[in-house]
Structure formats: C-alpha cells, structure tokens
Structure 1
C-alpha cells in the first residue's frame, strides 16, 4: 500500500483492538510526517506520546485532535501508569511511541514502552521507517512477558538494518 511520495507500507497490524506501535529509529521531525501519513492512509486512530513543550498555540489543538498526548520529559511522573490506565479504560486503544524518547543520538532507549505493554498485557508492534527503501514496515507483534532489559536488547535488534533519516544520530 502506498502512503505518499513513493513510500510503501509493508506488513500487517494485529487483529486486536489494543496494542503499542513502537517506531524506530527516530532521528528527525520527518518521522512524524511519515507516521501521520501512514496512520491516515490506514485509517487508524492512534494516540501518541510527544514532548509536552510542543503542545502550545498554534499547534496544540491540532496535535490533540490527531491523538497527541503531551509528556513532561524533565522528570518521571507516572506516564507508564497513566498509559496502562488508558488501555484499561478503552475497548480499542493504539499507542504510538518512539522508544528512543528523543530525536537526538542516544545509546540507551527508554523502557517505558515495554513496561506499559507488560503491565497492560498488550503486544508491541515494532514499526520501522527506512528512508533509503522508503518503507514503513510493521514487524511481527511481540508480547512482553520476561525480563525488561533482555526484551529491550532483543527489541533493538529488530531495527539493526533500518536506515534512519539521519543515520549519524542512531
């Protein structure tokens, strides 16, 4: 399926009403536009976490309308618990997260997306944006049941051969 500008969507989403879309690598603001084009082309309703500082006029209403949830990244304050409650409160809920937590170069990914999946008992669908191949790839869903740190190592391997918009930031 085509998204736009020559991008293709590869793979399938689970036939479940609740799951997490974990998108990586996240190195550019362009990732957001590829994600939004993909979501619209698939006619999905996806909530997504983004830094709270971008939720201000004039874009706050638009971001909220398309599913944005602002997060204060300066300190930990229960985002995992808040998202687990969102999964419990809705019959259908898809949450999009960038596991790196930033567009900047980072060695360690955040583990919150794994914690949310484990506590809410929902699968994670790894989603890669490959800027060389112009592919949005939905990988096989993963259910998080074990050691979070080991799961993170295995999860990162899924994205090993993906070309980010800014590969130097990976």
Structure 2
C-alpha cells in the first residue's frame, strides 16, 4: 500500500498498536494537535492501518479549490462560528449507522490550550461507544494506538486516565502543548 510505504519508508515513522477491527463504532482522539503536519501524518497512518475513520474540520477547509480533497479523505465540515449542538448531532450519526468511527482532536485547535474540550467524551458516552486514543509523536516519529477505553460515570477520573496515554508524547510544535 502506497500510504504505508510513504509513512514508514520515506518518512521513517512507525505504527504502534492496532485500531480495533472487531469494533464498528468508536470515537478516536488524536493528540497533541500542534501543527498542520498532524493531518497528513494522521491520514497516512489511518490509511496504513486500512481502517475507515472519518473526521470533522473547520468549514473553511472544505471550500474550493481544495475542499473536495478533505471530503474525499473522509471529512465533514463544521461551522464553529455558530452555537449548535454538535455533540447531539454526532450522536445521531452514530445511532444511524452500522459502522462509524470519528476522529477528533481533544484540544479542538492547533493552538496551546489550558484545557481539552470534552465533546469527544460526551459523544462517546451518548453513543455508547469506546474512545480509542492515538498519538502524534514527532519525538519518536510514531503513531501509537490505545486499546478501546469505555467511559465510566466518573468523567474527571476518565479524562485523567485518557490524558495519561499521552504522557511523554512530543508534538510537532512542543511549545504549543
């Protein structure tokens, strides 16, 4: 497969772990998200694993002349300027499909944040699906994937557990972590 060749042989990155093949639905969170470089690395890794995973992105990415590429790669535009109930809308998508995997950045931006957004957590809880974590580790040049994590009724402890998966991971721009 060409993606795996580019990802491993040309760029020198590694794949660690596996996306669950026995699960048809889950939320995927990738971190740290500090650079435009994260997107091509994540797409190459996803394609190397051969797992269909969709994502959402800011609406402006999907405008001509290149917007069709983001849609072709499995993306859907989101208007972040409007107050809408995106969590409920995504839960409905999960409920309406037999197979659906959605990738999100828990930071919600490439900028430095003090606190992660929690939409991914509420989507997983509302849809009754696990969370699969993956790293964008530019320090080790690897993408690592976690085992599925099923949210409990203790969000604070769950977020702490989820964040611990990313300990020691170095983003493309470490100063934005």
Q: TM-score range by the shorter chain?
A: over 0.9
Task: Kindly state the Cα deviation for residue 31 of structure 1 after the two structures are TM-superposed.
Answer: 0.4
* Kept in 2: contact 1:127–1:138 (CA 8 A): yes
Alignment of 1:19-168 (within 5 A): 19-168=26-175
* Kept in 2: contact 1:125–1:138 (CA 8 A): yes
Could you tell me which residue of structure 2 aligns to residue 11 of structure 1? 17
CA deviation map 1:137-169 (0-9, x unaligned): 001211112133332232222212101110000
- Structure 1 CA distance, aligned partners of 2:45 and 2:164? 23
What TM-score, normalized by structure 2, do the two folds share? 0.90
- Structure 2 CA distance, aligned partners of 1:162 and 1:30? 15
Task: Kindly state the Cα deviation for residue 7 of structure 1 after the two structures are TM-superposed.
Answer: 0.7
What TM-score, normalized by structure 1, do the two folds share? 0.94
* Kept in 2: contact 1:111–1:148 (CA 8 A): no
C-alpha RMSD over aligned residues: 1.4
Could you list the runs of 5+ residues in structure 2 that have no partner in the other structure? none
- Structure 1 CA distance, aligned partners of 2:160 and 2:16? 24
- Structure 1 CA distance, aligned partners of 2:157 and 2:78? 26
- Choose between structure 1 and 2: higher helix proportion: 2
Task: Kindly state the Cα deviation for residue 30 of structure 1 after the two structures are TM-superposed.
Answer: 0.4
- Structure 1 CA distance, aligned partners of 2:83 and 2:160? 22
DSSP-derived class of the 1:105 partner: coil
Q: Aligned pair count?
A: 170
